[in-house]
């Protein structure tokens, strides 16, 4: 028995052995065949022919296919991919043949046209505002609206040599309300109600002017709405 083992071991030592890695394998879905590395890919045509031609809105990069949709239910994914590929190919063809192309320092520039598709609004357009009495008068007389510079709330005070606000805090419309010395009329002082002052009279007059202007504005709006 010992002699047989020695003979077997010597025979194995004299033989050349070669180890091979197992070939990797994976399960492929039904209908798919393994491709060889050197296999050539299918070249699809650049021109796409349809019974009814596509319509385009290149400003929105939109291509619309009016043809009826015929899908293969057994190969739904491949059918959708084919439709998407045709649409993208047609859109690229239209862009390259109709849009101006220029070479810039940043690269090739393709200029898109203005969009023609009117997208729906979330909310309806606001109704046009009725013209006020002043707006009608200004249009009739050719009076133009004031510019931003003219609307600035500043005016130059010749007495102090400084710019001051027309209204608001420290505005010129409150001039005299906080003077420490005010000239009074003896007759008006004799008729003055108890608890009122000269400074209070000026504030009341200014507030009355503001209220009067607001009433006139509301009246003009009502008249414009009736017309």
**What's the confidence (pLDDT) of residue 10?**
41
DSSP structural state of residue 101: E
**What's the confidence (pLDDT) of residue 42?**
75
**Which of the residues in the chain have pLDDT under 70?**
1-40, 149-151, 176-178, 180, 227
**What's the confidence (pLDDT) of residue 36?**
60
**What's the confidence (pLDDT) of residue 92?**
92
Q: Do the Cβ atoms of 117 and 55 come closer than 8 Å?
A: no
Of 46, 52, 85, the residue nearest 68 (C-alpha): 52
Q: What is the DSSP string of 172-201?
A: GGGTTTT-S-----HHHHHHPPTT--HHHH
**What's the confidence (pLDDT) of residue 21?**
41
**H or E element that contains 157:** strand 155-157
Q: What is the pTM of this model?
A: 0.38
Cα–Cα distance, 166 to 179 (Å, whole number): 17
156-193 pLDDT per residue, tens: 888 888 878 887 777 777 776 667 677 777 777 777 77
Residues 6+ apart with CB under 8 A from 173: 166, 167, 206
Of the chain, the end-to-end C-alpha distance in Å amounts to 127
Q: Do the Cβ atoms of 51 and 73 come closer than 8 Å?
A: no
**What's the confidence (pLDDT) of residue 67?**
92
């Amino acid at each position: 028995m010992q002699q047989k083992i020695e003979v077997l071991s010597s025979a194995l030592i004299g033989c050349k052995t070669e180890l091979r890695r197992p070939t990797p394998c994976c399960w492929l879905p039904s209908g798919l065949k393994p491709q060889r590395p050197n296999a050539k890919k299918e070249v699809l045509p650049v021109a796409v022919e349809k019974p009814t031609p596509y319509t385009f809105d290149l400003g929105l990069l939109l291509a619309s296919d009016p043809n009826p949709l015929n899908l293969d239910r057994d190969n739904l994914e491949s059918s959708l991919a084919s439709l998407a590929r045709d649409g993208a190919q047609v859109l690229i063809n239209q862009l390259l043949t109709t849009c101006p192309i220029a070479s810039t320092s940043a690269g090739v520039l393709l200029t898109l046209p203005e969009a023609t598709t009117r997208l729906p609004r979330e909310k309806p357009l606001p109704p046009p505002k009725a013209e006020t009495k002043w707006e009608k008068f200004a249009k009739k007389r050719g009076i133009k609206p004031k510019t931003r510079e003219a609307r600035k709330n500043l005016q130059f005070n010749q007495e102090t040599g400084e710019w001051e606000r027309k209204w608001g805090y420290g505005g010129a419309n409150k001039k005299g309300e906080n003077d420490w010395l005010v000239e009074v009329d003896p007759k008006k002082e004799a008729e003055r109600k108890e608890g009122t002052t000269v400074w209070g009279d000026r504030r009341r007059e200014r507030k009355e002017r503001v209220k009067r202007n607001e009433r006139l504005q509301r009246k003009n709006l009502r008249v414009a709405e009736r017309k």
